[in-house]
Chain A
Amino acid sequence: MTTVGNIDDTLTEIIKLKNVKIALVEWLPFDRNQLSALNIKLDSLHRKRGHIVTARKDNSPSEIIFKDDGISCKVIVEEFEPSEYVSFHAFLNFPEEDGINQTEEISGNINSWGRVIYGADLIEAEGSIDGWISLDILTRIIVDLTMDTSQMIDSLLTEYQRNLLDLVFMKESAKRTKVLLLLADEISVHPESPQEFFDGEELQNELEQVIGVLQKVESLSEGFLFKGSSGMIAASKNIKNYEQSLLERSFSNAIRLFLDDYSSIIWHLWDESRFIEKDIDKAMLGDITSLTRAQNWITRASSDAIMLSDILSYLRDSITEFVSELAESDPKRLHYDPLIQELKLILDDSHITTKRVNDTQKVIHGLESKMVALRDFSNALAEKHMRRISDSMAQNTKSMTQMTESNNRASDALSIIELILAGSVIIDVVLVLVGEYAYPEWLGNLFNSGFGSIIVLGVTAVLWISMFIFLRLSKRRLESSAIRRQRGAYVIGRKCNVENLENYLTTKNILLRNTECEGESELISVTWEPHNNKGKPEISSVILYFDAKEKFIIQIDFESSDMTINLKRCYDYLIAEMEESGIFNLHEYGNACY
């Protein structure tokens, strides 16, 4: 039992390896253009100098200074062919916790068909003695290297490649796993038969901790080869002899591992499409928010399906290149290499992988067809909604025109009345001044003078016009104060308990209730004036739209003459009031165990 690093537990170390080399193998979507871009990014022509690399972009071209993210990773190119491969030496320097000291230098080899291999020679580790290190400690080192190499390589990939990985690994590509190959000179446990490692207890548990489910254990010269679901461990004095075949097998496994995640994302998309069908059903009932959600999903899923097809093309090309490389390897090897069976297995694996890719292609085609159908359906539904809105608007426009005409006629009549009223008021004023049917003496004298009667008539006309203007201005002022109000319209889109809703409405001062029946729906709009008590938002009128047959509240509109009021607060108040009345209570709870 030992305590190591910041591990909050004592480790039971059973199996140890000596002089460990770690290879992490993965498949990434690459082609020759992507690799060429990588060599340009690495400035491979000036290979010996090396660069610190980052995934950051220059988003402020006019700025002179930029800051990095405090994480440095230096890459020095060792060998390269612009569009074929690059081999580099990387120095990883990521933040560490207190008391932890890590020096990570690794090799990297990336070729044009996406074979990515990182290599590290473990020269020192906490708890290791004379090059011996336990699998318990190795697990932690491997996880650390796996995550750090992902972070390093992500800073070298194009935005497009990162998007592809984010899609397959559900935005967790930094934590994607890689196929592990551990090469060691010796192993501390030497049972008589390799099968004894399948003890179902300590030995098997320790091995499975590192390489996943233990599938096979074989004897190597003075050692063993352990094959697991996510990696292999090979321990032998002649480990160099096995490197090539094990790397080939690991790459085959890396493609398989990627395909597992790739397949799960396809089924994920497929399952999601079923939920979207439900959203479309809801939209048919009038919940416009569901339609928006469905259309957003279809847009995103269509883009995802295109990217999945792209990944598949990369995978196919990669497998083709891999198989041809295996076939073109030294023909003599076929005769003398003891690992020939292994090579045949790898070739067989490649064929199986190709078949899986073909099967996946069928699923993607199915998904694409389904999405086309869903898109057509949702478009038809959107058109139906648009037509309904358009009909409704045409009806409203017609009503508005009729109202405007009627208003104009009323306004004209009012103007005439204003004119007559102004005249009668002025006549009354004149009569008050001059006395009814009698002229004061001064006015009689004025009338008898040359222009007297014209002056009186002129003064009367001026007063008449002034009174008319005064009345018109007063009317406009009254009109403007009458139209000062705020209106809010909120889509609710929730199932409701109609019985409770009707009970709720009986407590209201209902002004208007409209019912429209069409097919399976019974659309009802109810207008009421809320009681504006102290402490409640000042709402002058509310209109609620709901479908009584589908038990579905569609929308709520309301008005307030208070121009300073927060409409969202009014909406929240109305919803809270409805919730309190049990309008949204749909279930009856049983006596289940919680």
Chain B
Amino acid sequence: MNLEENELTIEQQELLYLISKITDSNNCPTNWVKETPLQAMMFYAIRKGIFNEYDYAPISSSFLGQGRKFVNISKEGEDDLGDLREMGFLETIRLSSTTHDFITGYRSSPKSKKLIELLPNEVKERIDHIFICPKCKAENFALNIKVEKSEFKMVCNQCNHDEYIPLVIPEDVSYKTKAYFFENLDKKNMGDEL
């Protein structure tokens, strides 16, 4: 098995390694990473300059059993998750949550084990880097979630340094609109009035 045969893009390689790292697939083959924390990690990585071809946009979605929120999701990332599944490198699991909705779990498949070993070092290093605390340089920088506050943070378990991940905060742009009245609505209503 080699990378060329499987034609994985750099982003797909990074995504596969990220999932394998989060789930610690070598040591714990029964681990799965939940969809929302994975989206948070992808969002964090994009903002750190990894996943070069991905961007993200706020998309309305049911969020951790707390109703709808606008979540910054990468469609390219979602698409690559689908592609990796189709290629057999990722497995998914669906389970119901205590908050009465369904969540998807991801993990790297046994088929991907050899491939992950063959991934270029620079790909691995880029992903490994996001788990290194920028302050104390310890490899203990991990995702921490407070569901009730919809709060996502990367927290260093050694020095307690943290970085907030604005997953559910849409970013603004400047713009200007003027009111647009739909003619058919006005005509219809005015007709009724007359």
Report B39 CB to chain A, min CB distance, Å: 14
Q: Are B70 and A119 in contact (CB under 8 A)?
A: no
Chain B 140-184, CB-CB to A under 8 Å as 1, else 0, gives 000000000000000000000000000000111111111111111
Q: Are B189 and A107 in contact (CB under 8 A)?
A: no
Most buried by B among A23, A96, A264: A264
Number of residues in A with C-beta < 8 Å to the partner? 82
Residues of A within 8 A of B176 (CB): 102-103, 122-125
Within the assembled complex, what's the spacing in Å between the Cα atoms of A171 and B62? 13
Flag the segment in B50-58, B87-95, B108-116, B127-135 that touches A: B50-58
Q: Are A172 and B69 in contact (CB under 8 A)?
A: yes
Report B189 CB to chain A, min CB distance, Å: 5
Counting CB contacts under 8 A, is A244 at the interface?
Answer: yes
Report B60 CB to chain A, min CB distance, Å: 4
Within the assembled complex, what's the spacing in Å between the Cα atoms of A208 and B59? 10
Report A42 CB to chain B, min CB distance, Å: 15
Counting CB contacts under 8 A, is B30 at the interface?
Answer: yes
Within the assembled complex, what's the spacing in Å between the Cα atoms of A276 and B83? 42
Within 8 A of B (CB), among A173-210: 175-177, 200-202, 204-206, 208-210
Counting CB contacts under 8 A, is B24 at the interface?
Answer: yes
Within the assembled complex, what's the spacing in Å between the Cα atoms of A448 and B170? 116
Number of residues in B with C-beta < 8 Å to the partner? 46
Q: Are A264 and B177 in contact (CB under 8 A)?
A: no
Main secondary structure of the interface of B (DSSP, over half): mixed
Flag the segment in A2-10, A388-396, A402-410, A492-500 that touches B: A2-10
Counting CB contacts under 8 A, is A383 at the interface?
Answer: no
Within 8 A of B (CB), among A88-121: 89-90, 96-97, 99-107, 109, 111, 117, 119-121
Q: Are A136 and B57 in contact (CB under 8 A)?
A: yes
Counting CB contacts under 8 A, is B68 at the interface?
Answer: yes
By a beta-carbon cutoff of 8 Å, the part of chain A in contact with chain B is 4-12, 21-23, 78-79, 81, 84-85, 87, 89-90, 96-97, 99-107, 109, 111, 117, 119-127, 136-137, 139-141, 143-147, 169-172, 175-177, 200-202, 204-206, 208-210, 212, 230, 240, 243-244, 247, 261, 264, 267-268, 271-272, 593
By a beta-carbon cutoff of 8 Å, the part of chain B in contact with chain A is 24, 27-28, 30-31, 46-47, 53, 55-60, 62, 66-70, 75-76, 79, 100-101, 170-186, 189-190, 192-193
7 contacts between A and B (CB under 8 A): A84-B189, A106-B180, A109-B181, A140-B173, A175-B60, A175-B69, A268-B100
* Interface pairs A-B: 8 shortest CB-CB: A170-B67, A172-B67, A5-B173, A593-B28, A177-B60, A119-B180, A120-B177, A125-B175
Given contacts A22-B177, A140-B58, 20 further A-B contacts (CB under 8 A): A5-B172, A9-B47, A96-B172, A103-B177, A105-B178, A107-B179, A107-B181, A109-B182, A117-B182, A120-B180, A121-B178, A123-B178, A137-B173, A141-B173, A141-B175, A144-B173, A172-B68, A200-B79, A264-B101, A272-B100
